[in-house]
Structure 1
Amino acid sequence: GGGAGSAQQSAAYCMNLSYQCKDDNAFLVVQEALKAVAHNVVANERKGCCSYAYTREMGGDPHRVHMSEIFASAEDAQTHLTPHEGETLNEMFSEDPETKIMTKLSAAAVNPPEDNEAIMSGLAHLGLGCRLLRTLQGTVLNDFFFTSSWLRRYPTIRGVPGMGVLVELRFEPKPGARADLLKHLEQVTGIATNKDSHSILSCFTAPAWWQAGAPFTSEAVGLSLICTAALGLKHHLRRSLVNGLKGHCSTVHCVLSGENWEDENTQELCEHFEDCALDKVEKREVFAGFIIHPSLFKPPDAAPAAPAQP
């Protein structure tokens, strides 16, 4: 992968999985396996694995793990692990009663490559209940993240890796209000179609990809947004906009995953959502992997040399 050309980005898809680890020891096994694989994905610059975030709720159940992955293409998904790394993860996901350390709670693929038999059979292999979803608006992988002209002029504009945030807003529309909610959400998903949006890796709406159950029904809609840092997101998701979205809904939850919770902007973004008086704000830490692949912060190859200082 490398992220050239929109055909590649439009082939991108997203995986969301939630598992319950058996106990403390099982969690540590899972964490070590995922850390080892993520380390290799970074060290070998497998950039087509754009997001590889393994999270759990801060102050919540320490054995419940969530996995969010974005691949630039089916090919990137199939090649992001060596056979040996794949084996390690297969052991972790084992369904054999003797060796099983995790129970699947939910699985969803957003925009899976339906023309790729290997991947689709792999999703089927995840067992019953892997939902195959299509985006309603926006894009799983934002073209302009890779092609923004600002990047060529200001190669360090993205800041540093390790500050990424994943914002999920989960909406249960009032009866008959789903279309109005989606219309209103265009104000958010539109930011990804702005050619200056060098900091937004992903921004889309889709049917609910999280674990089914009250207060959400089959009408539920989610907004997913990945940004290089929390700074500026309070503006994109300002309170008046969030209040407008709430007006169409009986329930709104926010799940905020951050790579660095010591960052003041991440804390402030969380406080901003709390101030919006949502029904729930869940904070998640990244215990392995990354929200945005660190290699994507390197200046683009085509960047002209900076003019010499006089």
Structure 2
Amino acid sequence: MTHAMPEVMTHPVVGIDIGGTSVKALAAFAPHAERTARSDPYDSADPASLSRAISQVFAAIGAPSAPVGLCVPGAFDPVRRAVTASLNAPALIDVAIDDLIASACAGAIPVTITTDAHAAAFDFAATTPLTGRLLAVSLGAGVGACVLDGDRPLQVCGTSSGHLGQIDVTLPEDDNAPPLAPDGSAGSLEAYLGARVLAARFGSPLPDPLPLTRNDPALRALARALRIAHAIYRPHHIALLGGIGLRLHSHLAALRTRIDDRLTTLARPGWSLMCARDPWHAARGAARLAHKSMHAPPHNCAD
């Protein structure tokens, strides 16, 4: 199922993607007319750093009166409109998101707020001819996931499809001393494949493609997590998104071979494995979700 931006847009719409190390923004002026901006990197996603970064990208894209769609890292409570848990941006927890955006974007209030995993999945599904269930795994400073059936997210824990990055994928050789993720959890997928872990190995910015061998622990841990995901979610398609997913394009064949080796019979026949096409899926998805919300038909209540 694909969902294109409308052929005629009366005004632009902006998507802002708050990441663990930078903020990205995308202004959609028409189906194929976009302007993008990325902030300077920051060491900590605290409110002051985020306000500066958001102001920087909002000014750079040149759409000051546009409605804003926002996506945030971690678990989001749509009632409180606040992040309730975030391993890669803990300083964002319980921050008043509306106030943060209003102060940084000349009074703008987000039309929609969702997770970065949902926004990225929504854009990938909107721009890729797919039939069936999509598991989109966002690989960046943290690891998130969203399962989409059409354009509807599967909700397992609150608004989340689950916390794939926290699955224990400890490799056999690491049993006695598994690697630790930034939050101290041992053997999780984030401990093997988070951006900070890879930057410690390969430097920053990360090379593209990542110089991983077929037996690299990061690829083996990812394969193990996706094998588990096949049993839990039974996806027809898996997309590896985010900055790390973008850098795994040359490793898809080796990864697919490792996943397929004696894979559970619950896996969908003919399942596909893809990766990100650009680094803007989450920001573009946030813009798409804002546009969708603004143009949704009115809800009619019947007795």
- State whether TM-score is above 0.5: no
Give the TM-score, by structure 1 length.
0.38
Higher strand share: 1
